[in-house]
Amino acid sequence: MNLLSIRIITNDVSKLLEFYEQITQLKGVRYTEDFAELQTANATLAIGSTRTLQFFGGKEVAKAAENHSAIIEFITDDVDRIYREQSAFLASYLLQEPKNMPWGNRSLLFRDPDGNLVNFFTPVSTDAIQKFEGKI
């Protein structure tokens, strides 16, 4: 088994897609008004409107902008560079400037426009660098 994607349910696909395109510098694909994807080398960030919930059992299956437990994480080769380049854009979303974590990553933490937690990180300890070798 392999984790392939994470899907965010939102009331505004365009707004979230534009946000993630800006912070990742990747171009997303808009398949329909209600569904888009941002493809990275290892996984996909899918963005679906609340209208797509009808295909999964109804609108009560998930609620937009109510995530309080998951963190969407992106690995990068230089989190400090991204912070310097994106700090003005991220100012109103920022929770934590780049900081070294006890598990060996340097992390930048912010929220997306729907309030989902997002972590950009760079492995900095020997163990973390080895763990994520070939993932950047």
pLDDT grade for 43, boundaries at 50, 70 and 90: very high
- pLDDT of the residue at 6: 97
CATH class of segment(s) 1-63: alpha beta
Q: Give the residue extent of every domain in the chain.
A: 1-63, 67-136
Tens of pLDDT, residue by residue over 57-81, are: 998 899 999 999 999 999 999 999 9
Residue 27 burial (C-beta neighbours within 10 Å; 0-12, 13-18, 19+): exposed
Q: Please tell me the distance from the alpha carbon of residue 108 to that of residue 100, in angstroms, as a whole number.
A: 9
Q: Please tell me the distance from the alpha carbon of residue 25 to that of residue 23, in angstroms, as a whole number.
A: 6
- pLDDT of the residue at 59: 87
The CATH classification number of 67-136 equals 3.10.180.10
- 3-state SS, residue 15: helix
- pLDDT of the residue at 115: 97
The whole-number average pLDDT for the span 54-58 is 92
- 3-state SS, residue 43: coil
